[in-house]
Amino acid sequence: MADDSFVTRDSRTPASTSATRRAPRRVLGLAAAVVAVATGAVPPALEAQDPEPVILVTGSTGGLGREVARRLAADGAHVIVHGRNRERGEALVAEIEAEGRGSARFYAADLASFAQVRALAEAILRDYDRLDVLVNNAGFGSAPDERWLSEDGHEYRFQVNYLSTFLLTRTLLPLLEESVPSRIVNVSSLAQRPIDFDDVMIEDDFSGRRAYAQSKLAQVMFTLDLHEELKGSNVMVNSLHPATYMPTGMVQRLGVEPRATIAEGADAVMQLIESDEIEGGQFFNGLEPSRANDQAYDDEARARLRALSEELTGVSTSPSERAARGRGDRGLDPDEDPDYLATYSIIGLDPETGELGMGVQSKAFGAGNRAMHAKGGLVVIAHQAAANPMYGGIGIELLQAGYSPEEALEMMVASDEGRDRRQVAILDIQGRTAAWTGDGASDWKGHACGKNYCAQGNILTGPEVVEAMAASFESSSGPLAERLMDALDAAQSAGGDARGMQSGAILVVSERAGGGYSDRAVDIRVDDHDEPLVELRRVLDLFRSGQMLREANRKRGDGALDEALEIAMAARDTSPENDNAWVSLAEIYLALDRRPEMYEALERAVALNPGRTRTLPNDEDFESVHDDPEFRRIVGGG
């Protein structure tokens, strides 16, 4: 156990207030809420932001969904575009990005496959810290009048129009609940027919119209059921018939004349997304509240549909199990939960270069994707155990607003009901630290903060793991990434994660990296490997070798061939498997008229990467030897 649950090693001078970046609404909203919980006041720096909501629109590569996505982006939202057709999806993203008002990202998934729906939901949970609105728009119409089965063996329309909506919504619901005020909009239809629970998959007396109408009523029943469940949660749920016979692909397949425009349908959907004048738990016909089929208001029928949906999708609707699916609070034994970040990590600062960084290793998949947040010139934050990534996003906002690491962490912990299972450490550009290890995190757990670093871990073999990281960092010198790598190796040598090894990562940020276009100076990850630290070291060496080669090429271009050769040889020695290093050496040897050594280097490059036989014959740097028999032999041309 750690000596106490909150440890700091920082001076108490106020943090400098840096310029606040434009940030998504969810981060700023939570940051403000955190401050309000802890102090009773929202800081002006947070109130002044112009936030960007995150909205998922399924079936948004065409028709109504596409128009809604475009309008949302034009209003400044970040739109998660979904569909089956990647080309159309990415074209819409490009169009939105080109307009420069909002932003977008495309995810492909076929709703006729539960596996793809789950993968879609998992990708969104992985990639986003919040979700302000979910618009369930995707669907399949009544034509053609043929009975199809989904990949999972269910009547096609019932799965695509309803069951997959149920599965996706249920899986994303914890994120929507974290993102309040949030909304769910289910795009249904006036075409509704009562569900025959004795023949839900319509094996008898099938028609496309009946299947479509049944699935659309199921959407409305789900809406009303979910509204009752979420009362008081500030998640608003509504459904609607947007417009009658819009000129969409669904209507074209039906062969009828359009009666309404897509713009009219989009107006109705946008109202349910944006209006402050509506209440939840309703069915709308266009812009006006309406009444659905009577079965939608039958409590017994909705209960039967809920039970059937749970059985077919494998998703429970009980509040306790829903809470267990929440991000960071899964309620599982860590040994049974692959997402529990049993891990050790170290965050560090190099005051001479202004670099901040973090190294992590865990017996969990992709720890580097979930355990770290950093902003160059400001702060690095580790969040692990029952990891809640909002500590990263909110922590950055609070530091930007002028709070110290200690103040920020105190406020975040105070407002977090799951604090007992968290482990968090913060280090800012001034070298101030704050750390928290909750009593509910799994033993052995603890942290140690010193000058310009914090080391922490949970489910470790013992305190010696954290002590080894601290000792390594305190005694080391050189580039920050290598110091973090050495600390991870020291931790593993001391026993490491009691569950073993699987993934690792190193992140180093500075205020102006990558030529000033990014703050990422080093960002390398190994998501799944038997020896992740060995592989991480190899990747780090490859990265450093590439940096050296850029300098060697610059020297060669300046005519400083001896210096270029020395640097290129160092790059080769740092990463002997880097074929680029051998090609660079060959270029320098040729410039020095040392052809035997040039050919040795080229032969090694081709052995490492046979693809070089396709590129070298067109490489202008070797134009003078393209017809040389030895060159042709090496590249396979003679």
Q: Give the pLDDT confidence of 131-156 residue by residue, as tens digits.
A: 999 999 998 887 788 999 998 999 99
The domain spans of the chain are 6-13+332-528, 52-324, 546-635
Same fold flag, 52-324 and 546-635: no
Enter the pTM of the model.
Answer: 0.52
Residue 160 sits at φ, ψ, to 5 deg, of: -65, -45
| Domain 546-635, CATH | 1.25.40.10
Taking the alpha carbons of 555, 556, 561, 566 in that order, is the dihedral positive or negative?
Answer: positive
Q: Give the pLDDT confidence of 423-453 residue by residue, as tens digits.
A: 999 999 999 999 999 988 888 899 999 999 9
Catalytically annotated residue among 156, 162, 212, 340? 212
pLDDT for res 391 = 85
Whole-angstrom distance, CA of residue 409 vs CA of residue 82: 36
Residue 212: active-site member? yes
Per-residue confidence band for 210, with pLDDT thresholds at 50, 70 and 90: very high
The DSSP secondary structure of 192-204, one letter per residue, reads -----TTSTT--S
351/44: higher pLDDT:
351
Give residue 204's identity as a one-letter amino acid code: D
Q: How many CA atoms lie within 13 Å of 622's alpha carbon, on the beta-carbon side?
A: 27
Fold of 6-13+332-528: Glutamine Phosphoribosylpyrophosphate, subunit 1, domain 1 (3.60.20)
Whole-angstrom distance, CA of residue 235 vs CA of residue 186: 13
pLDDT for res 13 = 26
CATH superfamily of 52-324: NAD(P)-binding Rossmann-like Domain (3.40.50.720)
**What is the maximum alpha-carbon separation in the chain?**
89
CA angle 498, 500, 502 (to 5 degrees): 140
Specify whether the CB–CB gap between 134 and 219 falls below 8 A.
no
93-116 burial: b if 16+ Cβ within 10 Å, else e: beebeeeeebbbbbbbbbbbbbeb
Chain-wide mean pLDDT for the chain?
85
In this predicted structure, the answer to whether residue 7 has a pLDDT above a threshold of 60 is no
Sheet holding 379-385, edge to edge: 6-8, 433-437, 422-428, 379-385, 372-375
